Amino acid sequence: MERTEFLHKVGVNQLIAAFDLIPDILFWVKDTDSRILHGNQHFIEHQGFRSLDQILFKTDFDFSPKHLAFQYVNDDKRVMQGYVVTDRLELNYTDRGELGWFSTSKHVLKDEQGKIIGTYGVTRHLQKTSKALSHVKAIEAPVEYIRSHFHRHIGIEELAELAHLSVSALERRFKKHLAKTPNQYINEVRLENARKLLVETQLPVSQVAYQCGFAEPSYFSKQFKRLFGDVPSKLRETIEG
């Protein structure tokens, strides 16, 4: 039997059902409007539901905090434009509402003619994977410090001291585990928190910038657009519209 014939006989449903055999994996499939078409049982329960029918054709806005939903949907759009997310380390909420380390991969989904029809992805909770978590431990202290003190100036030297490393060793570990420098990570944490304030409050954009550690609103807007694809004022218009 040829490979193509075999795959057709097996069927997509049987193949994706294999993700239910892996308890620490969240797997999902979305259409081009970021609506859920499939999720394994762990993904469904992570959202607080029991069956696929309860989340079918819903988007992240139906079960995630608004600022996080914007992040997920924006990721979907970028993936469909050619951006590939592979083993990205990120802090996110567990199904118990606690912050934990996750590794996420997302890819575009195409039909047999090559037309983009959606996205699919997997997320793994690293707390259940001791080897992966041991790697993250190497930068856990400076990462937690950044997330707690992003609103003020943070020197690389103080982060290195927290991690009991030299500055060069700290930078190497950030590059290895997060694929970015400490300064890049600080900037992204500030921008993530700025987006949350833009979504959840009516604070002026300039005030959001200052509260998140940016001295110049113009620089803040430039960095925000680079990471999220729109300037802060445009995001506000989308929310209010």
Same domain? 124 vs 142 = no
pLDDT at 63: 86
pLDDT at 72 over 50: yes
In the predicted structure, residue 111 carries a pLDDT above the cut 60: yes
Residues 29 and 113 in one domain: yes
State whether 34 and 124 are in the same domain: yes
Domain that holds residue 193: 137-240
What is the C-alpha R_g of the chain?
Answer: 20
Residues 16 and 110 in one domain: yes
CA distance between the termini of the chain: 55
The angle that helices 156-163 and 182-200 make with each other, rounded to 10 degrees, is 100
Residue 137 φ then ψ, to 5°: -55, -30
Q: Which range is least confidently modeled, 57-66, 85-94, 149-158?
A: 85-94
- 151 pLDDT tier (thresholds 50, 70, 90): very high
CATH code, domain carrying 206? 1.10.10.60
Bridge partners (DSSP) listed for residue 108: 119
Question: 147 and 186 in contact (C-beta within 8 Å)?
Answer: no
Residue 122's CATH number = 3.30.450.20
Q: Mean pLDDT score of the chain, rounded to an integer?
A: 85
Q: How would residue 212 be classed by pLDDT, with cut points 50, 70 and 90?
A: very high
Both tokens of residue 190? Answer: 């500030």
74 and 101 part of one domain: yes
Whole-angstrom distance, CA of residue 209 vs CA of residue 214: 5
Q: Among 70, 105, 128, give the residue marking a domain's end.
A: 128
Q: Which residues contact 41 (CB under 8 A, 6 or more apart)?
A: 20
Distance CA 212, CA 202 (A): 15
- Of 102, 128, 154, which residue sits at a domain end? 128
When mean pLDDT is compared over 64-68, 100-104, 187-191, the highest value belongs to 187-191
Domain tally for the chain?
Answer: 2
The reply to whether 209 and 143 lie within a common domain is yes
| Same structural domain, 61 and 151 | no
With a CB cutoff of 8 Å and minimum separation 6, the contacts of 119 are: 29, 30, 34, 76, 79, 80, 106, 107, 108, 109
Q: Give the torsion through C-alpha atoms of 68, 69, 75, 76, to 10 deg.
A: 160
Cβ pair 181, 160 in contact under 8 A: no
Q: What is the pLDDT of residue 130?
A: 47
Within a 13 Å sphere around the CA of 194, how many CA atoms are in the beta-carbon half? 33
Q: What pLDDT, on a 0 to 100 scale, did the predictor assign at position 15?
A: 72
**pLDDT by residue (tens digit) across 31-71?**
999 999 999 998 998 888 999 999 999 999 998 888 778 87
